[in-house]
Amino acid sequence: MKRIGVLTSGGDAPGMNAAIRAVVRKAIYEGLEVVGIFHGYQGLIDGNMELLNLGSVGDIIQRGGTKLYSARCPEFRTEEGQQKAIEQLKANGIEGLVIIGGDGSYRGSMTLTKKGFPCVGIPGTIDNDIPGTDYTLGFDTALNTVIDCIDKIRDTATSHDRTFIVEVMGRDAGDLALWAGLAGGAETIIIPEVNMNMEEVVERLKSGTSRGKKHSIIIVAEGVMSGSEFAAKLMEHANIETRVSVLGHIQRGGSPTGRDRVLASMFGAKAVEVLMAGNGGRAVGIQNHEVVDYDMNEAFERNEVFDKDMYQLSKELSI
């Protein structure tokens, strides 16, 4: 293998730039050439790409977003789009691809692998929802962003004796909400993995009030419902007035934490090694502190990895 490509696809996540840097520098260290493909699969179809060198990825390890830009690409789901992408890969002499993104991006890379172009996936999403890896790139940074927001909201909640509802991203997964809720001392955490019990929520709020507590933070994962829907339910059930904060895309931005930068560096280097060994259809990840690669099909299995103990702990500590 002489030349590989790298692209980022789907929602951006802090640490993607650090991963691009690692892929490029590790590949050049190993004597390969690296082509950066812009705007994800759309750039692949359009031939929007350029050869990268060591300097191309300088000064990006600390930056949020992705230097290669990202996009969701409906055209790539069509046979015609895939054919165009393959023609571009051939025309540009690219023999293997590193794809940084979430499960949608992984599906695209399986398609290419099946058509003869080996692809390796690096999990890049704040949602931490990819089976086979304990952590995805960007999760730690987003977690710290959410904690910072909760701390600030708590100031106002305390000053005004208010109950706040904080809506947190995560798509269908509750990891970001659960971790942030535990770390931010939230009184109640509502996540998709646990059936919501409104009576219990109200009971917890009331028991807090009866011991003199005048403010509360409730974290609602977007996968359950929106913060304002939850506020309406609380009003309807118990006539409790709240304020709602939707954190939104602030959770996707910002300089990656040290943990995300280290993870990105290890994932990037591992992905290059896997490609060099001639393997496609693989994903890299971290399992029990060890960087691994595994069959990408395992990343599509929805085997509900949910930390019940952590959820229970959050309840025990927030009475």
CA 210 from centre of chain: 39
* Catalytically annotated residue among 12, 127, 140, 260: 127
Nearer to ligand F6P, 202 or 244 (CB): 244
* Alpha-carbon span 191 to 288, nearest angstrom: 24
Strands (E) in the chain, as ranges, are 3-8, 33-37, 49-52, 96-101, 119-123, 163-168, 188-190, 216-221, 243-246, 282-287, 290-295
Binding residues among 224-283 for ligand F6P as defined by CB under 6 A: 252
Residue 125, annotated ligand binder?
yes
Q: Which tokens is 301 given? A: 């299995």
Which residue pairs from 298-302 have beta carbons closer than 8 angstroms and sit at least 24 positions apart in sequence? 298/131, 298/132, 299/103, 299/106, 299/121, 299/123, 299/130, 299/131, 299/132, 299/133, 300/103, 300/106, 300/107, 300/131, 301/131, 302/131
Taking a C-beta distance cutoff of 8 angstroms, is the pair 269, 284 a contact? no
Which of 102, 121, 124, 227 is the binder for ligand F6P (CB under 6 A)? 102
Segment near ligand F6P (CB under 6 A); pick from 120-128, 177-185, 210-218, 285-293: 120-128
Binding mask 173-212 for ligand F6P (x = CB under 6 A): ----------------------------------------
Per rule CB under 6 A, count of chain residues that contact ligand F6P: 10
15 is an interface residue for ligand F6P by CB under 6 A? no
169 is an interface residue for ligand F6P by CB under 6 A? yes
Which of 36, 64, 121, 170 is the binder for ligand F6P (CB under 6 A)? 170
Residue 273, annotated ligand binder?
no
Does the annotation count 127 as an active-site position? yes
Give the footprint of ligand F6P on this chain (CB under 6 A). Answer: 11, 102, 125-127, 169-171, 222, 252
- Going by the annotation, the residues of the binding site for ADP are 21-25, 154, 185-187, 211, 213-215
Q: Which residues are annotated as a binding site for ATP?
A: 11, 72-73, 102-105
Active site residues: 127
